[in-house]
Amino acid sequence: MELRPLGRTGVHVSKMCLGTMMFGDWGTKDHDESIKVIHRALDAGINFVDTADVYSQGESEEIVGKALAGRRDDVVLATKFFMPFDDDPQHRGGSRRWIMKSVENSLRRLGTDYLDLYQIHRWDPTVDLDETLGALTDLVRAGKVRYIGHSTYPPSTIVEAQWVSERRGRERFVTEQPPYNILVRNIENEVLPVAQRYGMGVIPYSPLAGGWLSGRYRKDSQDGPMSPARQRLANRFDLSLPENQRKLAAVEQLSQLADDAGLTLIQLALAFVLRHPAITAPIIGPRTMEHLESQLAAADVVLADDVLDRIDAIVPPGVTINPAENGWVSPALDATARRR
């Protein structure tokens, strides 16, 4: 599989990254089956694996650790922190206190003494960026972390974080992990240009829009999401909502376009993300071996310009059909936050 530079780090990663949210209680509960999927991905040339402490409350990290036994040095291993790990209010966020505890927990579960990429899962405007960057810098200097990144940061905060790193002598964030797919294109407006300006790697999650671009959700579909992880996101999957009805209409058109191009919908969706010059590696998130094989089939697909033009006619550049999927919403625009 083609390798691409991870920003300006000098590290090269496969053009697809294996996401592991679906391994464990949130998806495939059988550890042996999950490990088989991970091994197949590695054998196919994927050398980039992404997980998070919150995925099945650490179980995903434990599965990844088992799968990488004896193969750790061949893999660029990434995990994340920040999301509430349990009911303890101290076990979440971007504070030095939690970062120092969560990294040790992740290292133990993953069975490794270092992380290639340690990412903060979301931005929290209540935590000083220098607080977070100071703790992460100490982890890099201690050899426990090689590089640091963030996920779903708004463009203004990406710029501010780079400024804080320069002015305070901190390690800088070298990657951003945003949501991105044909139905969710908001990051084309500012996030991707900003990331390019700072030489950052971009490793987008949900390139299949949580199953919408796999063909699972069609106009005649009666079933909702199968996995507990997806069931928590009702506003993105409730087929009665007008914005999701618009997604259904777009998926019908995209399915026809894929047929016309001699591709599966999955191949069309992944090839679209892979084609953008600012993208390093989309994160695929298979739950089963069948899912993985269908996604690996897109690795060598290159979309012609006329196909890209037809995609733009269905979902214009920079547009997200259901704004709930943009990943981050300014508190100033959040009606719930305004009422608090």
177 backbone dihedrals φ, ψ, rounded to 5°: -120, 90
- 8 Å CB contact between 78 and 108: no
Catalytic residue among 55, 147, 153, 217: 55
- 8 Å CB contact between 203 and 177: yes
Known catalytic residue at 118:
no
332 backbone dihedrals φ, ψ, rounded to 5°: -65, -20
Interhelix angle 129-141/96-110, nearest 10 degrees: 40
The H or E element containing residue 253 is helix 242-260
Quickly count helices (H) and strands (E) in the chain.
13, 10
CA–CA gap between residue 11 and residue 3 (Å, rounded): 10
Q: Which amino acid is at 86?
A: D
Q: Where are the alpha helices (DSSP H) in 68-147?
A: 96-110, 129-141
HEC assignment per residue over 194-233: HHHHCCCEECCECCCHHHHHHCCCCCCCCCCCCCHHHHCC
Of residues 44, 62, 49, 173, the one with CA closest to residue 115: 49
CA–CA gap between residue 260 and residue 254 (Å, rounded): 10
The three-state secondary structure class of 187 is helix
CA–CA gap between residue 236 and residue 238 (Å, rounded): 6
Q: Which amino acid is at 233?
A: L
- 8 Å CB contact between 264 and 297: yes
Q: How far is CA 17 from CA 90, 112, 205, in A?
A: 31, 19, 9
Q: How, if at all, do strands 3-5 and 12-14 pair?
A: antiparallel
**Positions marked catalytic:** 55
